[in-house]
């Protein structure tokens, strides 16, 4: 079924990015301000992502930040994009999100991933079970059980959490996650903003093998993309040099806080192909350019919802990018 960019929900993924010369406290203030901004604009949801040991990302204590953002807003859905479930016991996640859902009824989402969200050494420091990723579907079911009202006579109960309607999502960047989401009958969110290669294959698998559940009668898919929109193409491409440097840091294992825009930045030729693959679904440009490319993406993927992350150094320019995107949809 063809989908129209102007008719699907828009949402935000935030990593509480730390900018060069600023602190995590600054990042958290910016996250609250951005959440309030996109709430006024009419965005659907605001998700924060769990990552660890990364100098550019401050969202490691994800559930704490979700509570902070939810407390600073009133209508937008707030959640995790995602909680890396193998880093945590299902009971602890149930209690944390049960608490959040009790504080902010009807507004909390729980997106779940099975990757560590970090490197192997940090995963070990998190006391992650080496087999945890293989147990992911079982852990999801355990979590569902803690949220179920039928568990009221269980030997272990999640209080708060039990009996609450907290939407759960499966997150992924490969086809494995698509199989899991489909088999559990849960909505699915794909991380095409950094892992674009298997997007179409994963969506095909998810839709073709989806098993309806009490939670989700039909498949529902989100794709996340990078967007850097500005009033002119030249400004947008300058702003996007900050994002390019972030991905260069991943390729070179030289990670640092988000750098200011750099008009003299030149991509080393040996990294050109790898970086372009990373940025396959990165939409950069003027309003007209961004609208054309995103509209084509939505048509090609038939996604039900578009989630956007914007690695923009200047906070006001970041706010403006999200404003431009929503104006394109509303006009």
- Per the listing, tokens 């209080």 go with 159
What is the rounded distance in angstroms from the CA atom of residue 40 to the CA atom of residue 310? 18
What is the rounded distance in angstroms from the CA atom of residue 112 to the CA atom of residue 82? 5
What is the rounded distance in angstroms from the CA atom of residue 251 to the CA atom of residue 273? 11
pLDDT reported for residue 292: 97
Q: How many domains does the chain have?
A: 1
> How far out from the chain centre does Cα 215 lie?
21
Residues 6+ apart with CB under 8 A from 296: none
- Domain range holding 32? 5-330
Looking up residue 249, the CATH number of its domain turns out to be 3.20.20.30
pLDDT tens digits for the chain (331 residues)? 678 999 999 999 999 999 999 999 999 999 999 999 999 999 999 999 998 888 899 999 999 999 999 999 999 999 999 999 989 999 999 999 999 999 999 999 999 998 765 667 666 776 666 677 778 999 999 999 999 999 999 999 999 999 999 999 999 999 999 999 999 999 999 999 989 999 999 999 999 999 999 999 999 999 999 999 999 999 999 999 999 998 888 888 788 999 999 998 887 888 888 888 889 999 999 999 999 999 999 999 999 999 999 999 999 999 999 999 999 999 8
Q: Which alpha helices (DSSP H) does the chain contain, by range?
A: 24-41, 62-72, 90-103, 120-125, 136-147, 175-184, 199-209, 233-239, 241-252, 272-278, 287-301, 315-330
pLDDT reported for residue 3: 85
pLDDT reported for residue 278: 83
What is the rounded distance in angstroms from the CA atom of residue 96 to the CA atom of residue 302? 33
């Amino acid at each position: 079924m063809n989908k129209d960019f102007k008719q699907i929900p828009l949402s935000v993924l935030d990593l509480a990015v730390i900018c060069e010369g600023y602190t995590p406290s600054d990042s958290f203030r910016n996250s609250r301000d951005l959440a309030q901004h996109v709430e006024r604009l009419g965005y659907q949801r605001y998700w924060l992502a769990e990552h660890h040991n990364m100098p550019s990302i401050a969202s490691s204590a994800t559930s704490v930040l979700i509570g902070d953002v939810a407390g600073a807003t009133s209508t937008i859905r707030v959640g995790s994009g995602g909680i890396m479930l193998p880093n945590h016991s299902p009971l602890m996640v149930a209690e944390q999100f049960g608490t959040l859902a009790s504080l902010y009824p009807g507004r909390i989402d729980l997106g779940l991933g099975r990757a560590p969200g970090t490197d192997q050494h940090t995963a070990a420091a998190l006391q992650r079970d080496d087999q945890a990723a293989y147990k992911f579907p079982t852990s999801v079911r355990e979590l569902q059980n803690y949220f179920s009202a039928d568990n009221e006579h269980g030997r272990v109960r999640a209080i708060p959490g039990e009996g609450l309607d907290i939407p759960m999502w499966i997150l992924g960047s490969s086809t494995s996650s698509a199989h899991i989401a489909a088999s559990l009958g849960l909505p699915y969110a794909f991380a095409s903003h950094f892992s674009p290669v298997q997007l179409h294959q994963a969506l095909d698998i998810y839709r073709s093998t989806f098993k309806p559940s009490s939670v989700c009668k039909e498949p529902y898919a989100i794709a996340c993309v990078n967007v850097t929109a500005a009033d002119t193409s030249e400004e947008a491409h300058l702003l996007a040099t900050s994002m390019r440097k972030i991905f260069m840091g991943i390729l070179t294992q030289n990670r640092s806080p988000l750098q200011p825009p750099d008009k003299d930045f030149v991509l080393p030729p040996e990294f050109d192909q790898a970086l372009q693959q990373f940025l396959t679904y990165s939409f950069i440009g003027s309003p007209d350019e961004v609208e054309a490319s995103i509209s084509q993406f939505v048509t090609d993927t038939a996604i039900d919802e578009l989630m956007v992350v914007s690695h923009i150094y200047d906070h006001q320019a970041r706010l403006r990018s999200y404003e431009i995107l929503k104006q394109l949809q509303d006009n």
